[in-house]
Amino acid sequence: MPPASARLTTGLCRRAAAAPAPTPTIVRFQHARGIRCLSSAPVGRLRRPESVRPTCANSCPPVRTPQRCLSTTPAQRYADADDSFDPATIERESDQVDVCIIGGGPAGLSAAIRFKQLANEAGNDDFRVLLLEKAGELGAHILSGAVIEPTAIDELIPDWLAEDNDSRFTGATPAGSDKMRFLTKTMSIPVPAPPQMNNHGNYIISLNEFTKWLGERAEEVGVEVYPGFAASEVLFAPDGSVKGVATNDLGIGRNGKPKNTFERGMEFHARVTLFGEGCHGSLSKQVIKKFDLRRDSQPQTYALGIKEVWEVQPEKFKKGEITHSMGWPLPYDTYGGAWMYHFGDNLVSIGQVVALDYSNPWLSPYGEFQKLKQHPLYREVLEGGKCISYGARALVEGGFQSIPKVAFPGGALIGDSAGLVNVPKIKGTHNAMKSGMLAAEAAWNALKESSNEGSVFLYEYEDSLRKSFIWKELKEVRNMRPSFHTPLGLYGGMLYSGLEAFVLKGRAPWTLRHGPPDHVATKPADQCTKLEYPKPDGKLTFDILTSVSRTGTNHEEDQPVHLQVKDWDKHTAETYPAFQGLENRFCPAGVYEYVEDASKPEGVRFQINAQNCIHCKTCDIKAPHQDINWQVPQGGEGPKYYMT
C-alpha cells in the first residue's frame, strides 16, 4: 500500500477533477507539500440579535473561506444514511510526521521555522514539520495592538528588515514618541510610564500581516502549512502520551447527522505535538487538565481586548506615535487600559483591554470601548476618519504565577497557550516566538538522539524556558497585575505598580496571588449598579452588528453549534435570574441573547447566534457556571481579519 501522504494526494486530485464547479464560487489555492487544490465554501450570514437594531442599512459583503481538501472519504453514500448512522464508525485517514504544530500564530510559526532551520542545517531535508491552522488563511484569526519587541525575530530571521532582503517584512513602523495618560471623563492627565513600557527600538505592526509573512518564510524552509484545518481532538498513545491530533468532521448538519457533503476528519500522528493555539485553546485546556499541568501554578486570569483600525485624516496622523491610557471610562474597581498607535500610511490602531475578573454583570466591554472613543484624546484623532476593521480576542494576564508546566509526554505548550504575556509591558509576541523556538530546539535534540520507540518528554524545554529572558522578565513584573486586587482598586494598583516598576524592580521577597477565577468574580446583578450605554452615532461609535460585519466572519449555518451548552433551559434557569443576561454584554459579537418568551419559566429563551462568533473565547472564560464550552467549528470558518 502506498504511504498515507501519497494516498491523500491521489484522493485529492481525483476529487478535484471530479467535483462539479459550485455556483457562485471563489477560487482559492492552498499549498501543502506541492499540492494545489480548488476550494469554496457556502456563504454564512450574520445573525442579528433581536435586541440589536442597525444604525445603517448596509450589510457586509459575503465572505468565503476555503474548506479543507485533503480528506478522501467518499461523501455521497452517507447522504441517505438513517438516523442510527454514527460518523465515528468511519475510519479516518492518517498521516505520520515528525512534528505537528497546532496553531499558525507567531509561536507556532516560529517553532516550525526553527525546526526546519535545524533539520536543514543537519542535512535532514526529509524531517517533516506540519502546521495546522483553523483559519482559512494564515493571520485571519490573529489580532493584537501591536507593538512588537524585535528580540525573538532578530534571532530567528536576522535580516527580517534588511533592505537587501527581497523577502523582508515591509509593514514595520519604527516606534516614535510614547505617551501615558490617566483619563477622567473630559481630561487627559500625563503620568510617568513605567520603564517596561519604553518602546525605543520597537515596531508598530499589524500582527495579521506579520503572521502572513511568517507563514511565507515557513513554507520557504519546507514547513507543511495547512490553513483551514481545525484540530478538534487530541489523540493519545496506549501509554497515555500524546500521539497527535485529529481534525473535525465536515458536512455534519445542525441535527448532528451527516449531509451529502460529509467528510471524515483526518488524523495527524507525530513524535512531538506542540500546542500554540493562543489564549484558552480548546485542545490546550484538554491537555492541561489531562496532565494536571496547573498543579503548581495559580489559575490563569484573562482580559478581553477589543480593537479597531482607522484610516485617519493625514493632518491628524503622527507616524510612530504611541499612546496608552488608564482610567475612564472603566469603573475604579475594573482593571484595564487603552491604546492608540499610528502606523503605516494614515492608519491608527485603537483598542481597549478589560480584565475579565470584573464584578459588575451590567458592564459591557464593547460598550466601554464605544464610550472610550468619545473622549477628546481619541475623538480628536478619529473624527473625520473611517473605521476599516474591527476585532476582539481574549488574552492571558496571569503572568509568572499562572505559567503551567509546559512539557508533557509527547508534546508541549508554547506562546499564549502557556500564558507568556508580559502585561505591564503590554507585549507577548516576542515571548511567544521565543518559546516556540526553545521548544523546537529541545524537540530537535530529543528526536535526533532517540529511536522511534517510546514517547518524547521535552525536559530541555522546561529547563531552557526558565533560563530564558521570558522567565526573567515575567518574574520581575509578577506582582503588578495582582496588586490591583485591593480595596483601592485601580488607584491602589497604580501606586503599588509604580513602586515595583521604579524601586523594587521584581526584587520583593513576596509574590502576590491573583484573585478568584474570572467567572467566580461576577456578582449578582441586584448587588451592582446598572450601567447604561449611549446609542451609537454611526460615525465614531457603532452598533455591535455593524462592527461584526467588519470582521468578515463566516460560518455555515447548518452545522452543530460550536458553542456547546448541554442544556439551554438549565443554563437559563441557573444564569439568567442572577445575572440578567450577562452573556449578551460580555460577548463582543452579539452571539448570545435572551429573547422574551412567555412560555418559559424565566420569561426568556436563551439563544446562541453561533454564526456571529469571532472566536474570542470570552464565553468559555466568563460564563458564571462554566457551562459554555468553545470548540472549533468547521475548518476555515470564523473571522477574516484585516490589518489587525
DSSP string, 342-403: EETTTEEEEEEEEETT---TT--HHHHHHHHTTSHHHHHHHTT-EEEEEEEEEEE--GGGG-
Stretch 350-358: mean pLDDT: 98
Catalogue the active-site residues: 144, 393, 429, 587, 613, 616, 619
Phi then psi for residue 331, to 5 deg, are: -60, 160
| Separation CA 400–CA 355 (nearest Å) | 17
Q: Given a cut of 80, is residue 461 above it in pLDDT?
A: yes
For 236-245, write each residue's pLDDT tens digit.
999 999 999 9
**133: confidence class by pLDDT, cuts 50, 70, 90:** very high
Query: Between 39 and 164, where is the model more confident?
Result: 164
For 50-100, write each residue's pLDDT tens digit.
544 333 333 333 333 333 344 444 444 555 555 667 777 888 999 999 999
The contacts of residue 120 (CB under 8 Å, 6+ apart) are: 221, 222
SS3 assignment for 498-531: HHHHHHHCCCCCCCCCCCCCCCCCCCCHHHCCCC
Helix (H, G, I), strand (E, B) or coil at 554: strand
Helix (H, G, I), strand (E, B) or coil at 572: helix
The pLDDT value given to residue 80? 53
Q: Cell 526573567 sits at which residue?
A: 472
| Separation CA 65–CA 553 (nearest Å) | 9
Indicate left, alpha or beta for 565 from its phi (over 0: left) and psi (-120 to 50: alpha). beta
Pair type for strands 178-183 and 322-327 = parallel
Structure-block grid coordinates of residue 342: 499610528
Which amino acid is located at 477 in the chain? V
Comparing 64-78, 302-316, 320-334, 352-366, the range with the smallest average pLDDT is 64-78
The conformation of residue 19, written as its DSSP 8-state character, comes to S
Q: Given a cut of 80, is residue 211 above it in pLDDT?
A: yes
Structure-block grid coordinates of residue 526: 441586584
CA–chain centroid gap for 405, Å, is 21
In terms of Cβ atoms closer than 10 Å to its own Cβ (0-12, 13-18, 19+), residue 380 is exposed
The pLDDT value given to residue 502? 86
Query: Between 124 and 68, where is the model more confident?
Result: 124
Q: Report the share of the chain in percent with pLDDT over 70.
A: 86
The pLDDT value given to residue 83? 62
The contacts of residue 275 (CB under 8 Å, 6+ apart) are: 102, 103, 281, 283, 284, 287, 411, 412, 413, 414, 417
Residue 485 β-bridge partners: none
For 570-618, write each residue's pLDDT tens digit.
999 999 999 999 999 999 999 999 999 999 999 999 999 999 999 999 9
Cα angle 359-350-192, degrees, rounded to a multiple of 5? 75
**370: confidence class by pLDDT, cuts 50, 70, 90:** very high
Q: Given a cut of 60, is residue 229 above it in pLDDT?
A: yes
The contacts of residue 281 (CB under 8 Å, 6+ apart) are: 102, 103, 275, 417
The pLDDT value given to residue 64? 33
The pLDDT value given to residue 41? 33
Helices and strands (H, E) in the chain, number of each type: 15, 26
Q: Given a cut of 50, is residue 385 above it in pLDDT?
A: yes
The pLDDT value given to residue 193? 87
For 507-523, write each residue's pLDDT tens digit.
999 999 998 999 999 99
The pLDDT value given to residue 338? 98
Neighbours of 621 (CB within 10 A): 24
Phi then psi for residue 591, to 5 deg, are: -80, -40
For 9-34, write each residue's pLDDT tens digit.
333 333 333 333 333 322 222 333 33
For 479-491, write each residue's pLDDT tens digit.
999 998 877 777 8
Stretch 228-232: mean pLDDT: 96
The pLDDT value given to residue 528? 97
Comparing 201-205, 207-211, 631-635, the range with the smallest average pLDDT is 631-635
Phi then psi for residue 43, to 5 deg, are: -75, 130
Q: Cell 455556483 sits at which residue?
A: 23
The pLDDT value given to residue 455? 86
**255: confidence class by pLDDT, cuts 50, 70, 90:** confident
Phi then psi for residue 622, to 5 deg, are: -95, -15
Stretch 41-56: mean pLDDT: 42
Structure-block grid coordinates of residue 554: 463566516
Neighbours of 386 (CB within 10 A): 12
